[in-house]
């Protein structure tokens, strides 16, 4: 029996290592197929994608994760959550032993209520700060303060209390825990338990209480460590035994915890509505956006700054917000948005960047080029140039018979920045200006 339990734990670790390797490949910028598919199966991005625009695939992903969690518990947290696996790696390297931890039920219910209330009201800020996938993305894809700060916090928490983030803070973990709490198959301690404490020392969630003879399946992340280390086979995974419980005690706990969750949800929705105006003004800082973003206000509501588009942009012009406290944007001073590329719209897992075919992307106006003759070397110095016209992919920049560029045709310009990139004039005669709303050009 114990050998089977050890095999199950080994299989769990192998699956987690495989998934973690694949998700790291996605954030390396080299795994295009993986990047376009795997992150979209994460719970929070799939949920955000459903809210951004109906997606059958995203809805199916959310449903399957919820169903599997209700049937078997929080295996998602042990197998498929990259931030959770990272915490396990940190705890393993630090050789930190597990210990029984307080059940921060009120804290996590309030946090989850606020987060989901704001998200359903249309504001992604709480997920930007708390979503495990987005935080892992910032850690893996950015060496700015937006990536360093969550890494430092996660390292400190993992060394101190292993999976404390997952059991006390993470809104996704809280939601899945509510499903696992009354799930079909659960972990439990049997009468064989000799209270040696070995399972507690191996538990990353601190959810085992040998003295009370209980395992808190709501916080358990299904690492299967307790099954593998118990020498007397006192830990069982299966259908729970029915135990008598005081009706008043159960009802009181349900009312208190449910009230906290609902209050947090309502407060989150109210905060989202009152903050919309401030968010719209804040979003204007990020004026030139990836094709498919729409406008600054919409994009700020949907983007969780996971940085997947940043690391997968071949031109390296998608950049994180200063400080990592907002959505990504385009920095066309670094280069041009490649005419033959639509990768960012293919890899975005939340729908913040709408998926565009290459044909549609080529007609999407993300900005607009302007010519300043006072800087152009053809006008000012009489030199031959014409580089701006030669690289313009849409024909928006043309030359006069004299070789001087004509004003940019706004009906053809998509604002890719190619003309600005090649302009040899000091100060750039071709500059890219933002547009309030991305639009599809006719023709």
What mean pLDDT do residues 278-283 have? 61
Q: Over 70: is that where the pLDDT of 107 sits?
A: yes
**What does the pLDDT read at residue 144?**
61
Q: For residues 325 and 423, state if they share a domain.
A: no
What mean pLDDT do residues 189-217 have? 93
- With a pLDDT cut of 70, the percent of the chain lying above it is 88
Q: Which residues contact 417 (CB under 8 A, 6 or more apart)?
A: 317, 330, 332, 335, 336, 337, 367, 369, 432
Q: For residues 350 and 376, state if they share a domain.
A: no
Going by pLDDT thresholds of 50, 70 and 90, the confidence category of residue 273 is: low
Going by pLDDT thresholds of 50, 70 and 90, the confidence category of residue 94 is: confident
Q: Are residues 228 and 198 in contact, defined by beta-carbon separation less than 8 angstroms?
A: no
3-state class (DSSP) for residue 187:
strand
Rg (CA), the chain: 26
Q: For residues 273 and 314, state if they share a domain.
A: yes
Q: For residues 376 and 353, state if they share a domain.
A: no
Q: Which residue has the tokens 């114990």?
A: 2
Residue 98, both tokens: 């597990």
Q: Are residues 180 and 205 in contact, defined by beta-carbon separation less than 8 angstroms?
A: no
| Phi/psi of residue 195, nearest 5 degrees | 60, 40
Distance CA 340, CA 267 (A): 45
Lowest-pLDDT range, 92-106, 196-210, 222-236, 391-405? 92-106
Q: Over 50: is that where the pLDDT of 377 sits?
A: yes
Q: Over 50: is that where the pLDDT of 246 sits?
A: no
Residue scoring higher pLDDT (339 or 285): 339
Q: For residues 280 and 418, state if they share a domain.
A: no
User: What burial class does residue 248 get, using C-beta atoms within 10 Å of its C-beta: 0-12 exposed, 13-18 middle, 19+ buried?
Assistant: exposed
Q: Are residues 350 and 45 in contact, defined by beta-carbon separation less than 8 angstroms?
A: yes
**What does the pLDDT read at residue 267?**
76
**What does the pLDDT read at residue 248?**
47
Other residues' Cβ atoms within 10 Å of the Cβ of residue 18: 11
**What does the pLDDT read at residue 123?**
75
Distance CA 307, CA 48 (A): 15
What mean pLDDT do residues 411-431 have? 95
Average pLDDT in the chain: 86
Q: Residue 221 carries which DSSP code?
A: -
User: What burial class does residue 201 get, using C-beta atoms within 10 Å of its C-beta: 0-12 exposed, 13-18 middle, 19+ buried?
Assistant: middle
Q: Over 70: is that where the pLDDT of 276 sits?
A: no
**What does the pLDDT read at residue 252?**
66
Residue scoring higher pLDDT (240 or 387): 387
Nearest one of 15, 155, 33 to 78, comparing CA atoms: 15
Q: For residues 416 and 442, state if they share a domain.
A: yes
What mean pLDDT do residues 300-304 have? 82
Q: Which residues contact 50 (CB under 8 A, 6 or more apart)?
A: 58, 59, 62
Q: E strand or H helix at 235, and its extent?
A: strand 235-238
Q: Over 90: is that where the pLDDT of 360 sits?
A: yes
Q: E strand or H helix at 153, and its extent?
A: helix 145-161
Q: Over 70: is that where the pLDDT of 358 sits?
A: yes
3-state class (DSSP) for residue 268:
helix
**What does the pLDDT read at residue 2?**
58
Q: For residues 349 and 266, state if they share a domain.
A: yes
Other residues' Cβ atoms within 10 Å of the Cβ of residue 214: 14
E-assigned strands of 151-211?
186-189, 208-209
Q: For residues 209 and 187, state if they share a domain.
A: yes
Domain boundary (340, 362, 384) is at 362
How many CA atoms lie less than 13 Å away from 248 in the CB half-sphere?
0
Q: Over 60: is that where the pLDDT of 350 sits?
A: yes
Q: For residues 411 and 358, state if they share a domain.
A: no
Q: Are residues 318 and 329 in contact, defined by beta-carbon separation less than 8 angstroms?
A: yes
Q: For residues 434 and 292, state if they share a domain.
A: no
Domains in the chain: how many in total? 2
Q: For residues 379 and 290, state if they share a domain.
A: no
Residue 127, both tokens: 């997920």
- Compute the Cα dihedral for 65, 68, 73, 75 and give only its sign: negative
Domain of 374: which CATH number? 3.30.70.20
What mean pLDDT do residues 145-173 have? 88
Q: For residues 340 and 377, state if they share a domain.
A: no
Distance CA 386, CA 410 (A): 18
**What does the pLDDT read at residue 421?**
96
> Range of 159's domain?
1-362
Q: Are residues 84 and 163 in contact, defined by beta-carbon separation less than 8 angstroms?
A: yes
**Pairing state of beta strands 318-319 and 235-238?**
unpaired
Please report the DSSP string for 165-232 in residue order.
Answer: HHHHT-HHHHHHHHHHHT-SSEEEE-TT-----HHHHH-SS--EETTTTEE-TTT-----HHHHH-TT
User: What burial class does residue 280 get, using C-beta atoms within 10 Å of its C-beta: 0-12 exposed, 13-18 middle, 19+ buried?
Assistant: middle
Distance CA 358, CA 341 (A): 7
Where would I find the H helices in 284-373?
296-302, 308-312, 343-347, 358-361
132-141 vs 82-94: helix axis angle to the nearest 10? 70
E-assigned strands of 62-197?
186-189
Please report the DSSP string for 11-25 in residue order.
Answer: HHHHHHHHHHHHHHH
Domain boundary (331, 362, 393) is at 362
Q: Over 70: is that where the pLDDT of 34 sits?
A: no
Domain boundary (315, 334, 362) is at 362
């Amino acid at each position: 029996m114990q050998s089977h339990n050890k095999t199950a734990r080994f299989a769990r670790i192998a699956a987690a290592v495989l998934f973690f390797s694949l998700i790291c490949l996605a954030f390396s910028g080299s795994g295009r197929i993986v990047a376009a598919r795997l992150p979209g199966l994460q719970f929070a991005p799939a949920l955000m994608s459903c809210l951004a625009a109906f997606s059958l695939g995203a809805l199916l992903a959310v449903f399957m994760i919820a169903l599997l969690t209700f049937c078997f518990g929080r295996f998602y947290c042990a197998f498929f959550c990259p931030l959770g696996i990272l915490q396990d790696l940190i705890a393993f390297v630090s050789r930190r032993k597990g210990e029984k931890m307080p059940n921060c039920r009120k804290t996590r219910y309030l946090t989850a209520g606020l987060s989901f209330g704001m998200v359903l009201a249309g504001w992604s800020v709480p997920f930007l700060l708390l979503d495990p996938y987005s935080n892992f993305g910032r850690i893996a894809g950015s060496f700015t303060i937006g990536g360093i700060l969550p890494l430092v916090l996660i390292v400190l928490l993992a060394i101190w209390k292993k999976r404390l983030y997952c059991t006390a803070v993470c809104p996704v973990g809280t939601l899945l825990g509510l499903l696992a709490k009354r799930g079909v198959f659960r972990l439990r301690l049997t009468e064989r338990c000799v209270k040696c404490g070995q399972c507690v020392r191996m538990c990353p969630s601190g959810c085992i209480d040998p003295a009370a003879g209980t395992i808190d399946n709501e916080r358990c992340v299904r690492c299967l460590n307790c099954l593998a280390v118990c020498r007397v086979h006192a830990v069982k995974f299966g259908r729970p035994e029915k135990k008598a419980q005081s009706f008043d005690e159960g009802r009181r706990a349900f009312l208190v915890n449910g009230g906290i969750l609902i209050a947090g949800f309502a407060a989150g929705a109210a905060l989202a509505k009152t903050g919309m105006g401030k968010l719209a003004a804040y979003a204007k800082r990020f004026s030139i956006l990836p094709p498919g973003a729409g406008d600054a206000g919409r994009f700020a509501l949907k983007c969780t700054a996971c940085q997947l588009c940043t690391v997968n942009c071949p031109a390296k012009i998608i950049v994180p917000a200063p400080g990592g406290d907002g959505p990504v944007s385009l920095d066309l001073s670094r280069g041009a948005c490649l005419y033959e590329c639509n990768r960012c719209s293919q890899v975005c897992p939340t729908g913040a960047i709408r998926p565009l075919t290459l044909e549609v992307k080529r007609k999407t106006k993300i900005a607009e080029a302007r010519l300043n003759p006072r800087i152009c070397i053809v006008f000012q110095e009489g030199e031959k140039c014409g580089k701006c016209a030669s690289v313009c992919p849409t024909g928006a920049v043309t030359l006069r018979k004299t070789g001087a560029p004509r004003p940019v045709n706004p009906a053809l310009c998509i604002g890719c920045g190619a003309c600005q990139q090649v302009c040899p004039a000091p100060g750039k005669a071709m500059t890219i200006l933002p547009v309030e709303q991305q639009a599809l050009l006719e023709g």
